[in-house]
Amino acid sequence: MHEIFSEPGRVQAILDFESALAVAQARTGVIPSGAAAIIARHASVDRFDLDMIRADAENAGNIAIPVVRELRRRVAGEDAAAADYVHWGATSQDAMDTGLVLQIRRGASSLGSDATQLCDSLFRLAERHAATPVLGRTWLQAAVPITFGLVVAGWLDGLERATDRLSRAAADASVVQLGGAAGSLSSLGEKGSAVTAALATELQLQVPAIPWHTQRDRITAMGASVAMLIAALAKMARDISLSMQTEIDELSEPVSPGRGTSSSMPHKHNPVACAVALAAGLRAPALVAVLFGAMPQEYQRGLGGWQAEWSTLPELFTIAADSMRHMSTAVGGLVVKAPRMRQNIEALQGLAMAEQATLALAPSLGRVLAHNVVEAASGKAVEQHRHLRDVLGADPEVTKHLSAAALDEAFALDASIKASERLVRRMLAERRAGV
Amino acid sequence: MHEIFSEPGRVQAILDFESALAVAQARTGVIPSGAAAIIARHASVDRFDLDMIRADAENAGNIAIPVVRELRRRVAGEDAAAADYVHWGATSQDAMDTGLVLQIRRGASSLGSDATQLCDSLFRLAERHAATPVLGRTWLQAAVPITFGLVVAGWLDGLERATDRLSRAAADASVVQLGGAAGSLSSLGEKGSAVTAALATELQLQVPAIPWHTQRDRITAMGASVAMLIAALAKMARDISLSMQTEIDELSEPVSPGRGTSSSMPHKHNPVACAVALAAGLRAPALVAVLFGAMPQEYQRGLGGWQAEWSTLPELFTIAADSMRHMSTAVGGLVVKAPRMRQNIEALQGLAMAEQATLALAPSLGRVLAHNVVEAASGKAVEQHRHLRDVLGADPEVTKHLSAAALDEAFALDASIKASERLVRRMLAERRAGV
Amino acid sequence: MHEIFSEPGRVQAILDFESALAVAQARTGVIPSGAAAIIARHASVDRFDLDMIRADAENAGNIAIPVVRELRRRVAGEDAAAADYVHWGATSQDAMDTGLVLQIRRGASSLGSDATQLCDSLFRLAERHAATPVLGRTWLQAAVPITFGLVVAGWLDGLERATDRLSRAAADASVVQLGGAAGSLSSLGEKGSAVTAALATELQLQVPAIPWHTQRDRITAMGASVAMLIAALAKMARDISLSMQTEIDELSEPVSPGRGTSSSMPHKHNPVACAVALAAGLRAPALVAVLFGAMPQEYQRGLGGWQAEWSTLPELFTIAADSMRHMSTAVGGLVVKAPRMRQNIEALQGLAMAEQATLALAPSLGRVLAHNVVEAASGKAVEQHRHLRDVLGADPEVTKHLSAAALDEAFALDASIKASERLVRRMLAERRAGV
Amino acid sequence: MHEIFSEPGRVQAILDFESALAVAQARTGVIPSGAAAIIARHASVDRFDLDMIRADAENAGNIAIPVVRELRRRVAGEDAAAADYVHWGATSQDAMDTGLVLQIRRGASSLGSDATQLCDSLFRLAERHAATPVLGRTWLQAAVPITFGLVVAGWLDGLERATDRLSRAAADASVVQLGGAAGSLSSLGEKGSAVTAALATELQLQVPAIPWHTQRDRITAMGASVAMLIAALAKMARDISLSMQTEIDELSEPVSPGRGTSSSMPHKHNPVACAVALAAGLRAPALVAVLFGAMPQEYQRGLGGWQAEWSTLPELFTIAADSMRHMSTAVGGLVVKAPRMRQNIEALQGLAMAEQATLALAPSLGRVLAHNVVEAASGKAVEQHRHLRDVLGADPEVTKHLSAAALDEAFALDASIKASERLVRRMLAERRAGV
């Protein structure tokens, strides 16, 4: 990702536009075929002096101007006439926007395929732990038992939708920009549409209804979908890092020498992957805000808004890739401590099973009375530090209806997490069936 | 919109959930039918004391808790047994999220239909002015002539996509939330899926793969699509307000007594609608950032993130509606000063037609030489404050190839904006054909 | 706070400006004294129809226009001539900005005094727990023991600076706005400066170097300082809510009926105050961003930027007050579970004391060798689930230099937290001395 | 700036901390003097392999860990014993935070001196144009005449306060960070305070009340003050770019070959400096929001929040420097077209002088009647496209009181801008007097 959105990456994408434009214009009879061939031959960043281009861009106002100038100079070295056909009828923003679209396509494809692989890991993890009990936690408080598979299914659900949004946004954004000086393509006379269509074919991009120099929604939507992916990863990192807390200790990022360890504090295991993903989760919203804030651009070419996009969208892709790489490592080698998960539930002295005890008593007492009986017993259990099962087992109103065995069953952890398992299995089956 | 997202609007949406839940649970045999009927009958905000509910919510941590308590109290007044079936098996977030989804659906539908109407206005405006010349402007500088129809087509293009995104996001977000205490629906035993399905049917919402208490992408995407609409309106407001500048004076918001006028400065006409839309355009990106930033929520129910959504999404809908109302007024009565647009082009002494002069000379001089000749003449025109046509008309190299009539034609404004007109007509034809 | 920044609060602040302006102008001989007296008498929001004003503001573009119109109408009812002196020489923004400054002063004073009280609570809490051992935690992992007093001292340190920033920002922002139509005060001829000075005296505000209609730094800085306060509260909420986790259980928000409890899950105690403060911490950064983003306003009066401030700064004050109220409750009744804090340290089997064991061995082994010996023993302790003291006690190289008693002393918790206690005592002493 | 905040710049700042720490610890008897000397000798980034450090930082979780490791390795090459005293008693965050503070000090000093120079340019510009008439503009509409000096005085006023805020924030942030593993400095036993004080002396920084690992207000306030500077520059850029519009044409960025010009559109002169400053103005608010959003960090060391700061504050400094450089160029060579400014006023047919005509009539007609007479005449002037002076000159009620000469004087532009000139002169005199 760093490479795609590096400075050479950006310049090459601009050159890819110039090359394809020349080819498209040759094909539609706008410029001579020979000129197009020469232009295409020189459109490679390898031979460009990026320091000079950066310096010139400072004065010119954008990077396409010196890139085009340099391309023209190089083409002229071979054929002076051909040089005049470089960037024919186009404006800088045509080159920069279409170049950006090419970078987006590469970046989204790379991110998307990493995301799909991570989804696969999560799928397997959810399956493996479909019935592994873990405390559900709300408001950072222990609530009722669910399964770790359900937790992972939630991550998977979020990440799949994010991946899907990403690919849809990338497809939507894969549109040629070609408008000339003020978006009317007047410089190409009657050939405007034909050149645009040929250029789109050449680059395998869509033809827009009209040029979109100051209609930036597709760029912003692309950034928003990348931020959505970052948020999905950050949610995962939130849960993993919380579950790695010393006192909870249910999960762990994979351990390896020099990774998140501390020589002076041997008990520590820092969630370094999660830190990267959470930091990305804090930065991405602001970067998206820049894109939205930059949208109301002036007239036919923006002043400030367009320029604000230049480093913002690449930054989003880059931190998404960093976050993805780290979280793929974290999930790929995730240590799941099922015994500890069970222990943390048991430490609640049966209170986490109050709901299930109510369901067991309901057929005989009626749902409402059952609820009241269990609620009272729960209060007593907390107050007296007793196990809820024991409090209920000492209540004649309960034992009248439930045998000790039935009561034990009500407190059986495996029974209580059936609902979670059912949800996970159904969701995974639907995924497998491609629903 | 203010009504939909007002406090009574929110409470009613929660009550709509409670009512539908009871009906769905009766239908699936989870609670008695009689209880459901009574619950449904009491689920109307009209009889609720909102001051009390607000005060209780402060302690309870959310508004659903006092709403449910009050509903239960009211139901109990009619039938004590039925009261216990209020909110059966659900958690507060189920009620609040599903309630929010219902508000979203109403809000998006209202916004969407206003947006569609505004698109229609823009369509007609673009059609009417498909061939009305106006200066294209880039970097806030006069560039080359285009048509006002092309400007409006750009607005329409952006607004249509925004409207489309809005309705897709609303459809995506139209999903039931029902997960119970920790998202596993364990309180409903084996009936969980059946109740969810019945509830979805009742409310005409989709069934999610699994509960989504801490997977907030659909909420955030909804907010992002509202912000996109706000940005599309702000872009329009940017152009209109700039075009209303005293020295440009090409457009005007409709004039009416007391609207944007100043008694002490009679020449002023303040773009009050644009100010609202531009202010919304400055605020919306930050509100979207809150939604993205709130996404990495803890475990099975967030602490802080979920709460940060509560006023943010409603605020987005509300400012979108304000902006829409103002811009609909502005566009509906927009004063288009075509003569002034033409005058502003003419004030450029033919320089805006340099490109077209080049095209006229190209067949005889070759494109490259033509370009150089016109460039030199343009420089001279600027320096000597002469009209470019006159400079060219005095150049023997030009007159050798172009008669005075041909030169006049090259400077004919109507010819120079053909490319713009062509783009507009094609786009509108595609729209009409429903492409 | 809600009252200060309510709609009546805003209108009254505008009327306070109008009244003071008339008095100042009477005092400087610009308008008749009698007129000023009448204007002042009518400048009370109680008699204004806010619905009508809101409706008119929609067309007028700001709320000051209908407020002034209505004030003029009321004054005219008593004395037609006096009515013409209402708002004499001023522009709407003068009234709105100065009005906002008055609201800011009230709001900041209220927030500041609440913050000072909370600082006092924190001071006492830090003092009481200066020597109460608790685990220091980094990366969400147990690190080494510190004291809970040090934790609280950190909160106090942050909150004090935030309070100080708030009062400085409020003092900086307490500046009159009076510039007339375009900021030159030309309408007051040579009396401009005199009127501004008299107005400042009347309202006890500062006189600016020049009018500041489009120099908004003081407003933005005010918002930033409120956001800083919100962040200081959110940091506290972060720590408290994490420490309330079931498995950590070292702190608790005060318990009272109906506050954060759950009838079906009796073991839960939701941190409702923390949720409010954390949600505010997620929202405030975006609101600050709106203020910064609105700063580059056009020419002598902004279009969009100024308007974007209108609801943003009040919102910041309002959520700050909500957060303050909740966190004052939380800290005021904070349950500190010192025994559990100690228990959580002990559960680490002496590893948390590794650093102190090193210090004990250093005099005899040298610091470097001591470090290596303890590091090796720590590794063994983790691996074999033994207490670090026992591993070291079984190592002849250790026992050669340290008696059992000396080793016990090295693992004495109270000794290990001396450094924390020292830091806290010194900081509190400096505070008490007013350093 | 790019250099200060580059990767080598960051590593060197960390090494500056390590070197100063060793010296301070030698001075306080914590480590041997010889070791300190060796450590200091090796603490230079020149010999470090940054690629390796970057790669290791990915696993370690922060860059200080590999930097310290490498420093230790180098020191060990000279003296194995000394190597153990590298980073003695410190934690990674101590090195990174103090290093950042050193970068901040350098960055703020550089920015501040550039800002001061720009203030000097603005001072001279305001002085030169104290009496140069220009249209005041509000709501993007022509309002009343002011002077260009007043416009510049506004820029100066904003920039001076921003510069002042910057230097105060930098002074506030110039605080040592030294807390060890969990902020209690326990590793240094009783020497903690002494070492901190010696370190502060060594680096010429302040001693904090207590370590501030998770109290980030000074970092955020620093970022906010940089953003304030960016906003002040963007405000200037807003006005300059608007005034460069073809139809207004009152100002121009300095013209030089290849700077903002277009070969195909010779009449264009793009405001490239303004574009940079406006883009910075769109990006900075979001970067500040990241800093605010990152503040509620966990316990004694943050997870995600701290990491989110790492690239954000440097980015703010970097774009501020870019914006400063461009706007210094723009202001330094600003082309001020005073005749065109006057022309734009005259194009308003006297309406801009309506206020002054009222003042002229007031002594004889009374202020109120004078206002009404001029208001009516203004309406007529607009309607009939006549000059307001002529309409008034044809009104017997006016000519009864004002001679033609008196009327001419009322419409004299130079008289009408006296108030502006007075404001500017007074402000500049105060500045010169150092008020």
Q: pLDDT of A375-431, one tens digit each?
A: 889 888 988 989 999 999 999 989 999 999 999 988 988 877 999 999 999 999 999
List chain A residues with CB under 8 Å of B319. none
Question: Is B182 in the C-facing interface, judged by CB distances under 8 Å?
Answer: no
- Residues C258, B286: C-beta atoms closer than 8 Å: no
- If you average pLDDT over residues B40-56, what whole number do you get? 93
- Residue whose C-alpha is closest to residue D360's, from D411, D400, D322: D411
Whether B206 contacts chain A with CB within 8 A: no
pLDDT of residue B264: 66
Q: Which range, of A100-104, A241-245, C236-240, D398-402, averages the lowest pLDDT?
A: D398-402
Burial letters B188-227, b for 16+ CB under 10 A, else e:
bbebbbbbbbbbbebbebeebbbbbbbbbbbbbbbbbbbb
Among residues B88, B91, B11, B96, the alpha carbon closest in space to that of B47 is found at B11
Judged against a pLDDT cut of 70, whether residue D264 lies above it is answered with no
For residue C435, what pLDDT is reported? 61
Chain A positions in Cβ-Cβ contact with residue B424 (cut-off 8 Å): 210
**Contact call for D275 and A59, based on CB within 8 A:** no
Q: How far from A25 is each of A68, A78, C257, CA to CA, in Å?
A: 16, 20, 77
B86 pLDDT more than 90: yes
Q: In the Cβ-directed half-sphere of A381, how many Cα atoms lie within 13 Å?
A: 26
Cβ A392 vs Cβ B161: under 8 Å: no
The per-residue pLDDT for C322 is 97
**Residue C359 in tokens:** 């210090």
**C228 touches D: beta carbon within 8 Å:** yes
The pLDDT value given to residue D134: 97
Is D423 part of the contact surface with chain C (CB cutoff 8 Å)? Answer: yes
Residue B263 to chain A, least CA–CA distance (Å): 30
| D108 close to D81: Cβ distance less than 8 angstroms | no
Helix axes B64-78, B7-27, angle to 10 degrees: 60
Give the residue from chain B lying closest to D357, CA to CA: B264
D115 has a chain C CB within 8 A of its CB: no
| A262 is known as an active-site residue | yes
Q: How many CB pairs under 8 A join C and D?
A: 291
> Could you tell me the two tokens for B173?
């977000």
Residue C181 contacts B where some CB pair is shorter than 8 Å: yes
Could you report how far apart the first and last alpha carbons of chain C are, in Å? 31
Most confidently modeled range among B152-156, C368-372, C380-384: B152-156
What is the nearest CA distance from C377 to chain A, expressed in angstroms? 10
Please indicate whether residue B265 or residue D76 has the higher confidence score (pLDDT): D76
Of A259, A275, A289, the CB nearest to D307: A275
What pLDDT sits at residue C263? Answer: 63
At B8, list the tokens: 């009574």
SS3 letters across chain B: CCCCCCHHHHHHHHHHHHHHHHHHHHHCCCCCHHHHHHHHHHCCHHHCCHHHHHHHHHHHCCCHHHHHHHHHHHHHHHCHHHHCCCCCCCCHHHHHHHHHHHHHHHHHHHHHHHHHHHHHHHHHHHHHCCCCEEEEEECCEEEEEEEHHHHHHHHHHHHHHHHHHHHHHHHHHCECCCCCCCCCCHHHHHHHHHHHHHHHHHHCCECCCCCCCCCCHHHHHHHHHHHHHHHHHHHHHHHHHHHCCCCCCCEECCCCCCCCCCCCCCCCCCCHHHHHHHHHHHHHHHHHHHHHHCCCCCCCECCCHHHHHHHHHHHHHHHHHHHHHHHHHHHHCCEECHHHHHHHHHCCCCHHHHHHHHHHHHHHHCHHHHHHHHHHHHHHHHHHCCCHHHHHHCCHHHHCCCCHHHHHHHCCHHHHCHHHHHHHHHHHHHHHCCC
Exposure string over B141-170, b if 16+ CB within 10 A, otherwise e: bbbbbbbbbbbbbbbbbbbbbbbebbbebb
What is the distance in angstroms between the Cα of A239 and the nearest Cα belonging to chain C?
Answer: 12
Least confident of A232-246, B178-192, D93-107: B178-192
**What does the pLDDT read at residue D86?**
95
CB atoms within 10 A of CB A418: 16
Answer whether B180's CB lies under 8 Å from B87's CB: no
The percentage of chain B sitting over the pLDDT mark of 90, rounded to a whole number, equals 81
B435 confidence band (pLDDT: 50, 70, 90): low
| Residues D306-318, mean pLDDT to the nearest whole number | 97
Chain D residues within 8 A of B283 when measuring between CB atoms: none
- For tokens 């990702």, what's the residue? A1
Q: Is D162 on the interface with C (CB under 8 A)?
A: yes
Compute φ and ψ for B281, nearest 5 degrees. -65, -25
Distance, in angstroms, between A86 CA and closest chain D CA? Answer: 14
Task: Kindly name the residue from D113, D184, D186, D262 that is annotated as catalytic.
Answer: D262
């700077």: which residue's tokens?
A: D259
Nearest-CA distance C86 → chain D (Å): 11
Residue with tokens 């723009």: D330
The answer to whether B173 and B101 have CB atoms below 8 angstroms apart is: yes
Task: Give per-residue pLDDT as tens, A271-308.
Answer: 999 999 999 999 999 999 999 999 999 999 999 999 99
Answer whether C296 touches B (CB < 8 Å): no
- For residue range D362-392, list pLDDT tens digits in order: 888 877 788 888 888 988 898 898 999 999 9
The answer, yes or no, to whether residue A257 has pLDDT greater than 80, is no
d(C-alpha C137, C-alpha C146), whole Å:
9
CB contact under 8 A, D140 and B241: yes
Q: What is the mean pLDDT of residues A162-167?
A: 98
Q: State how far the Cα of B310 lies from the Cα of C282, in Å rounded to an integer.
A: 12
Q: B211, B178 in Cβ contact below 8 A? A: yes
* B395 has a pLDDT exceeding 80: yes
Residue A217 reports pLDDT greater than 70 = yes
Residue B345: which residues within 8 A CB-CB, separation 6 or more? B133, B134, B135, B145, B352, B413
The two three-digit tokens of residue B167, written as one number: 């309705």
Q: What pLDDT band is residue B369 in, cutting at 50, 70 and 90? A: confident
Q: Bridge partners of B145?
A: B135
Q: How far is B349 from chain D (nearest CA, A)?
A: 10
Query: Do the Cβ atoms of A264 and C142 come within 8 Å?
Result: no
C74-104 pLDDT per residue, tens = 999 999 989 989 999 999 999 999 999 999 9
pLDDT at C259 over 80: no
pLDDT number for residue D255: 84
- Residue closest to D388 by CA, chosen among D397, D396, D377: D377
Active site residue A241: no
A269 touches chain C (CB under 8 A): yes
pLDDT of residue A369: 84
Q: Is D395 helix (H, G, I), strand (E, B) or coil?
A: coil
Q: What percent of chain A has pLDDT over 90?
A: 81
Write out chain D residues lying below 8 Å of A289, CB-based: 285-286, 289
Alpha helix segments (H runs only) across D366-410:
367-384, 388-393, 396-399, 404-410
Asked if A264 reaches chain D (Cβ–Cβ under 8 Å), the answer is yes
Q: What is the mean pLDDT of residues B19-41?
A: 97
Nearest to C330 by CA among C240, C405, C404, C420: C240
Instruction: With CA atoms as reference, report the closest residue to B336 among B32, B70, B44, B122.
Output: B122
Q: Is pLDDT above 90 for B372?
A: no
Q: In the predicted model, what is the mean pLDDT of residues B125-134? A: 97
pLDDT beyond 90 at D310: yes
Residue B67 has pLDDT above 80, yes or no: yes
Burial label, D403 (beta-carbon count in 10 A; 0-12, 13-18, 19+): exposed
What's the distance, Cα to Cα, between the start and end of chain A in Å? 31
Average the pLDDT over D175-192 and give the result. Answer: 92
pLDDT mean over D150-168: 98
Cβ atoms of residues B284 and B231 within 8 Å: yes
Query: What confidence tier does B189 reach under pLDDT thresholds 50, 70, 90?
Result: confident
Q: Does A242 touch chain C (CB under 8 A)?
A: yes
Q: Cβ contact (<8 Å) for A286 and D281? A: no
Q: Catalytic residue, from C184, C193, C256, C262: name it.
A: C262
Tokens of B221: 């995407």
List CB contacts (< 8 A) between D276 and chain A: 307
**Residue contact C304–B281, C-beta within 8 A:** yes
User: Cβ of D248 under 8 Å from any chain B Cβ?
Assistant: yes
Report helix angle D217-243 to D92-128, nearest 10. Answer: 30
Q: Is the model's pLDDT at D435 over the cut of 70? A: no
Residue of D nearest to A273 (CA): D61
Angle between helix D272-293 and A305-332 (nearest 10): 40
Q: Which of residues 54-73 of A touch C (CB under 8 A)?
A: none
d(CA C291, CA C312): 7
What average pLDDT does range D192-197 have in this prediction? 96
Mutation test of the interface with chain A: which of C246, C268, C345, C359, choosing the one with the most A Cβ atoms within 10 A? C246
Contacts of B275 in chain D (CB under 8 A): 139
CB within 8 Å of chain B, chain A residues 325-384: 355-356, 359, 367-368, 371
Inter-chain residue contact A423 with B185, CB threshold 8 Å:
yes
Q: Give C328 to chain A, closest Cα distance, Å.
A: 20
- For D93-246, where are the E strands, in sequence order? 133-138, 141-147
Instruction: For A181-195, write each residue's pLDDT tens digit.
Output: 899 998 888 899 999
| Position with higher pLDDT, D155 vs A262 | D155
- Global pTM reads 0.97
User: What domains can you pick out in chain D, each with its CATH number?
Assistant: 1-88+187-207 (1.10.275.10), 91-175+212-339 (1.20.200.10), 342-433 (1.10.40.30)
pLDDT of A264 reads: 66
Quick check: C195 and C28 in contact, CB under 8 A?
Answer: yes
Which residues of chain D have a CB within 8 Å of the CB of A61?
260, 270, 272, 275
Cβ neighbours, 10 Å, residue B55: 12
Q: Which residues of chain A lie closer than 8 angstroms to D270, CB-CB?
A: 61
- Which of D135, D137, D139 would best serve as a mutation to test chain B binding (most B beta carbons within 10 A)? D139
Q: Hey, what amino acid is at B219?
A: I
Band (pLDDT 50/70/90 cuts) for residue A235 is very high
User: CB C290 to CB B307 under 8 A?
Assistant: no
Higher-confidence residue of D1 and C249: namely: C249
Would you state the pLDDT for residue D256? 80
Give me the mean pLDDT over the C209-216 stretch.
97
Percent of chain C with pLDDT over 90: 81
Name the residue in chain C with its Cα closest to that of B283: C290
ipTM greater than 0.90: yes
Q: Is the pLDDT of residue C264 over 70?
A: no
Where is average pLDDT lowest: A360-374, C313-327, C329-343, D252-266? D252-266
